[in-house]
């Protein structure tokens, strides 16, 4: 998947293969955050010492991340280089032998456990004839109880379906996992875009499990490479010990910016409110467009910046991809997603659509994708 992104993301007129918001400059980020602070962020950034940060991450940032997860303190938080590093370190510590995973899945969630020798217990998402995704929870909980995984990985908001689980659904999964003594890991990378009212989405965190997350894709700042893992302190310390051989610590500039992002989010929300409203706007554009045309099926994501679109015409996804590419549109074929579970899967002919473009650009892209151009 990464090869596809690298090949097309810089050359497509409309890059909807991506899973994050349109990128911010440092200037735009600082300007937008500033109204929520009484000191100059620019001066504070310039005064930042370029030293090694504390191994587990800056105390203040860890406390701010803990505030996102009820019942935790800074001791339960490890700051990492992106969510990817948090996931790799955590999965290497847990070393699942039998991993229950919602599929299709962001490739890392599948490939790291497979590389560690885990068997996969797939929990497949179903799409109906209108392209609406559904989580068959009853089936999933039965599968968990029958197959007895040692780790259940819940990615929600889910990449690529855009599904978000409510608290009852999360409880049902947690209860099934608890019955078979299985550790629950939540990958909550898109939690900042999970509700129309702009509040945080629900968390899968419990004191028995772990959660990984970040805000960087939601905020159009993936270059900050900030992520975290929340869980019990002794495992986090073991993860940090391995991290010492790799990325060691996360640079203080990024950590300061992350702290200011979170403080602003919980304060006046001067920066992020605009990105949330762009997300809502793009969801509306997509819903309207899906109503107006008959060549694509799908729905806006409940959470996160991606959803899946399915062409109504019967043709190979690569052929369809080329047609779209010819029109300047880059959509990511779902067949690039998780090869190991893709073969014959119902969703394999679909595409992942990113909603992270600026609204005017997103709307223009949908116009380009009108049926007559495709035939
Ligand atoms: C579900 C999910 N988890 C984790 C990641 C990794 O994110 P990061 O860029 O913070 O390493 C991504 C990135 O797209 C993702 O979609």
Q: Which residues line ligand 1 (CB under 6 A)?
A: 19, 82-84, 106, 155, 159, 187, 189, 214, 216-217, 222, 227
pTM given for the model: 0.95
CA 217 to centroid of ligand 1, rounded, Å:
8
What is the pLDDT averaged over residues 28-53?
A: 97
Residue 69: count other Cβ atoms within 10 Å of its Cβ.
22
Mean pLDDT (the chain) is 94
- Mutate which of 83, 103, 187 for ligand 1 pocket (most atoms within 8 A of beta carbon): 83
Both tokens of residue 56? Answer: 């587990």
Q: Is the pLDDT of residue 375 over 50?
A: no
- 39-266 has which CATH code? 3.40.640.10
The reported pLDDT for the residue numbered 131 is: 94
Sign of CA dihedral 99, 301, 323, 7: negative
Q: How far apart are CA 375 and CA 372, in angstroms?
A: 6
- Mutate which of 21, 84, 306 for ligand 1 pocket (most atoms within 8 A of beta carbon): 84
Looking at the CA of residue 159, tell me the nearest atom of ligand 1. Answer: 1
What is the pLDDT averaged over residues 113-128?
A: 95
- Mutate which of 109, 156, 159, 306 for ligand 1 pocket (most atoms within 8 A of beta carbon): 159
CA 43 to centroid of ligand 1, rounded, Å:
31
**Atom 12 of ligand 1, nearest CA residue:** 189
CA 159 to centroid of ligand 1, rounded, Å:
9
- 2-26+271-374 has which CATH code? 3.90.1150.10
CA 318 to centroid of ligand 1, rounded, Å:
25
Q: How far apart are CA 28 and CA 51, in angstroms?
A: 25
CA 350 to centroid of ligand 1, rounded, Å:
21
- Mutate which of 65, 89, 189 for ligand 1 pocket (most atoms within 8 A of beta carbon): 189
Q: How far apart are CA 321 and CA 221, in angstroms?
A: 28
Looking at the CA of residue 85, tell me the nearest atom of ligand 1. Answer: 11
The reported pLDDT for the residue numbered 12 is: 86
pLDDT digits (tens, 9 = 90+) for 148-164: 999 999 999 999 999 99
pLDDT digits (tens, 9 = 90+) for 217-247: 999 999 999 999 999 999 999 999 999 999 9
Q: Is the pLDDT of residue 349 over 50?
A: yes
Q: Which phi and psi angles does 290 have, rounded to 5°?
A: -65, -30
What is the pLDDT averaged over residues 194-211?
A: 95
Q: Which of 83-92, 123-132, 243-252, 334-343 has the lowest mean pLDDT?
A: 334-343
The reported pLDDT for the residue numbered 194 is: 97
Looking at the CA of residue 304, tell me the nearest atom of ligand 1. Answer: 16
CA 83 to centroid of ligand 1, rounded, Å:
6
What is the β-pairing status of strands 133-134 and 126-127?
Answer: antiparallel
Q: How far apart are CA 78 and CA 62, in angstroms?
A: 7
The reported pLDDT for the residue numbered 343 is: 61
Between 349 and 73, the more confident residue is 73
> What percentage of the chain carries pLDDT values higher than 70?
97
CA 239 to centroid of ligand 1, rounded, Å:
18
Q: What residues are paired with 353 via a beta bridge?
A: 307
The rounded radius of gyration (Å) of the Cα atoms in the chain is 20
Q: Which residue has the tokens 């979170």?
A: 262
- Mutate which of 106, 157, 192, 194 for ligand 1 pocket (most atoms within 8 A of beta carbon): 106
- Place 316 in a pLDDT band, splitting at 50, 70 and 90: confident
The reported pLDDT for the residue numbered 373 is: 47
**Cα 202 to Cα 98, 195, 263, 332, distances in angstroms:** 26, 9, 19, 28
Looking at the CA of residue 83, tell me the nearest atom of ligand 1. Answer: 10
- Place 374 in a pLDDT band, splitting at 50, 70 and 90: very low
Determine the angle formed by the axes of helices 82-94 and 233-243, rounding to 10 degrees.
Answer: 110
Write out the chain in H/E/C secondary structure. Answer: CHHHHHHHCCCCCEECCCCCCCCCCHHHHHHHHHHHCCCCHHHHHHCCCCCCCCCCCCHHHHHHHHCCCCCCCHHHEEEEEHHHHHHHHHHHHHCCCEEEEEECCCHHHHHHHHHCCCEEEEEECEECCCCCEECCHHHHHHHHHHHCCCEEEEECCCCCCCCCCCHHHHHHHHHHHHHCCCEEEEEECCCCCCCCCCCCCCCCCCCCCEEEECCCCCCCCHHHCEEEEECCHHHHHHHHHHHCCCCCCCCHHHHHHHHHHHHHHHCCCCCHHHHHHHHHHHHHHHHHHHHHCCCEEECCCCCCCEEEEEECCCCCHHHHHHHHHHCCEECEEHHHCCHHHHCCCCCCCCEEEECCCCHHHHHHHHHHCCHHHHC
Residue ranges of the chain that CATH labels 3.90.1150.10: 2-26+271-374
Residue ranges of the chain that CATH labels 3.40.640.10: 39-266
């Amino acid at each position: 998947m990464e090869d596809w992104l690298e090949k097309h993301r810089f050359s497509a007129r409309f890059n909807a293969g991506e899973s994050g918001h349109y990128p911010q400059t440092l200037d735009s980020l600082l300007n937008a955050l500033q109204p929520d602070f009484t000191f100059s962020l620019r001066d504070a950034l310039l005064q930042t010492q370029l030293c090694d940060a504390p191994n587990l991450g800056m105390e203040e940032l860890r406390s701010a991340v803990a505030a996102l997860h009820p019942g935790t303190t800074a001791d339960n938080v490890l700051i990492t280089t992106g969510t990817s590093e948090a996931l790799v370190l955590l999965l290497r510590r847990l070393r699942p032998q039998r991993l229950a995973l919602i599929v299709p899945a962001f490739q890392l969630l599948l490939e790291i456990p497979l590389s560690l020798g885990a068997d996969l217990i797939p929990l497949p998402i179903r799409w109906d004839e209108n392209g609406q995704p559904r989580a068959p929870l009853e089936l999933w909980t039965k599968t968990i109880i029958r197959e007895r995984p040692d780790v259940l990985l819940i990615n929600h908001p889910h990449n690529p379906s855009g599904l978000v689980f409510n608290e009852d659904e999360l409880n049902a999964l947690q209860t099934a996992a608890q019955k078979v003594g299985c550790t629950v890991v939540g990958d909550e990378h898109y939690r900042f875009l999970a509700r129309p009212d702009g509040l945080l989405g629900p968390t899968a965190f419990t004191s028995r499990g772990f959660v990984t997350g970040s805000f960087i894709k939601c905020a159009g700042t993936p270059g900050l490479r900030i992520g975290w893992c929340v869980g019990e302190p002794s495992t986090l310390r073991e993860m940090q010990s391995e991290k010492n051989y790799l990325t060691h610590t996360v640079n203080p500039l990024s950590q300061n910016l992350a702290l200011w992002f979170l403080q602003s989010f919980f304060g006046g929300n001067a920066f992020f409110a605009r990105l949330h409203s762009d997300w809502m706007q793009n969801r509306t554009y997509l819903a309207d467009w899906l109503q107006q045309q008959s060549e694509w099926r799908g729905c806006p994501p409940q959470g996160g910046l991606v959803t899946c679109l399915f062409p109504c015409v019967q043709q190979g996804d690569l052929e369809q991809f080329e047609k779209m590419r010819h029109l300047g549109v880059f959509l990511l074929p779902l067949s690039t997603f998780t090869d190991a579970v893709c073969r014959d899967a119902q969703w394999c002919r679909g595409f992942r659509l990113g909603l992270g473009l600026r609204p005017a650009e997103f709307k223009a892209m949908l116009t380009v994708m009108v049926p007559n151009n495709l035939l």
